[in-house]
Amino acid sequence: MENLEKKNILVTGGAGFIGSHLCEKLIKTSRVICLDNFSTGNVSNIDFLLQHPDFVFIRHDICEPVDFETLPELERFKVKFQGIAEIYHLACPTSAKNFDKFKAATLEANSVGMKNVLDLAAKYKAKVVHASSSVVYGPRQEDKESFKEDTLGCVNHLTPRGSYDEGKRFAETMVETYRQMHGLDAKIARIFRTYGPRERLFDGEMVPDFIIDSLDNKDLIIYGDESFSTSLCYVDDIVSGLIKLMAAPSDIGPINLGSNEDLKILDVANKIISMTGSESKMIFEKPLLFMTALGLPDTSRAKELLGWVPLVRLEDGLQKSIDYTQAYKPLLRQQGVVDER
């Protein structure tokens, strides 16, 4: 009877960076179906969960139909009778260095994949939280310090990265349309830059690369110049915000999740060098297509409506990330080399 009291939760993109941390948190109170096709996720992110009785991993592309009621590995979850109570939709390729490789998959994830998730939600009357992105607001604006949720973003949908930027806007439109048509409890989280353990290495995300290169006394590469700045929110805080948003009223509207502290990436790199006692130097290279200067979030609605604010200080989050990298450095190095090929 104990199992019957636990709800079934689906996490698409559950083997990814944020998705794996979300699964780790949800498994404490619920049964978790983790779905991922490993396009940019990795089995190492969830290997510690695979033997948990309330966790099932399904290797599948959400852009293809899936019938959870016929999968033998899900028999003990009794999906046919208990359904799926909640869906966190995080499945979308993200790769700063290899963006071109995933252009078509990104387009499909933000359209076909989004539709498949919403159809599942309509079938099971499941609550949905869609992981959107700060890119819906467009690039940073000189006359605007931060973006509120009612800001009308300006995105050039014909740029080389339009499949992600405009794709995220279209996915949001689908969520709201299904909410209106089917009465779904479907909500949108606009996630700003996030860092922490399990972030992909050697993919242009900079912070995880800063850490592992500092530990090896190698040059730290900044993709941009000394003025490049961004916000950084620790992954545990983002996970907390997603869970709070799932529990919120259905008509809450889009919610920004992120840090509103503007950080120069040069200062972050110097802090990591200092924290690791490294002798590394910094070098600058041309900006990557996917690493554009994004605005800061106005998180006043998240604080007012969810009672959410980021709690992890940058120094503490970086230390947790450094400790993780030191513990798993040989594995991470091997994984990173494989991912680069």
Residue 339's pLDDT is: 41
Pair 324, 246 in one domain: no
**306 lies in a domain?**
no
Pair 177, 269 in one domain: no
Q: Collapsing DSSP states into helix, strand and coil, what is residue 123?
A: helix
CATH label of the domain that carries residue 219 = 3.90.25.10
Which one, of 227, 244, 247, lies nearest residue 309 by Cα?
244
Cα(121)–Cα(119) distance, integer angstroms: 5
Indicate if the alpha-carbon torsion angle 168, 171, 177, 178 is positive or negative. Answer: negative
Residue 26's pLDDT is: 98
Pair 180, 239 in one domain: yes
Pair 111, 241 in one domain: yes
Pair 225, 177 in one domain: no
CATH label of the domain that carries residue 187 = 3.40.50.720
* Secondary structure E strands in the chain: 8-12, 31-36, 55-59, 86-89, 127-133, 146-147, 186-191, 194-195, 220-223, 229-230, 233-234, 255-257, 263-264, 282-285, 296-297
Among 36-50, 195-209, 324-338, where is mean pLDDT lowest?
324-338
**298 lies in a domain?**
no
Pair 267, 156 in one domain: no
Which one, of 146, 35, 47, lies nearest residue 89 by Cα?
35
Give the model's confidence band at 21: pLDDT under 50 very low, under 70 low, under 90 confident, else very high.
very high
pLDDT in tens, 164-223: 999 999 999 999 999 999 999 999 999 999 999 999 888 878 899 999 999 999 999 998
Range of the domain at 269: 199-230+261-292+313-334
Give the model's confidence band at 66: pLDDT under 50 very low, under 70 low, under 90 confident, else very high.
very high
Average pLDDT, the chain: 91
Give the model's confidence band at 97: pLDDT under 50 very low, under 70 low, under 90 confident, else very high.
confident
Residue 289's pLDDT is: 64
Q: Which of 137, 164, 178, 234 does the annotation list as catalytic?
A: 164
Pair 134, 223 in one domain: no
**214 lies in a domain?**
yes
Residue 216's pLDDT is: 94
Pair 148, 215 in one domain: no
How large a percentage of the chain has pLDDT more than 90? 76
- Structural domains of the chain, count: 2
Pair 189, 220 in one domain: no
Pair 319, 247 in one domain: no
DSSP conformation letters of 64-89: S---GGG-GGGGGGTHHHH---EEEE
Annotation marks residue 137 as catalytic: no
**250 lies in a domain?**
yes
Cα(108)–Cα(97) distance, integer angstroms: 19
Pair 110, 252 in one domain: yes
Pair 113, 215 in one domain: no
pLDDT in tens, 255-295: 999 999 999 999 999 999 999 999 999 999 888 766 667 78
- Could you tell me the two tokens for 278? 């490294």
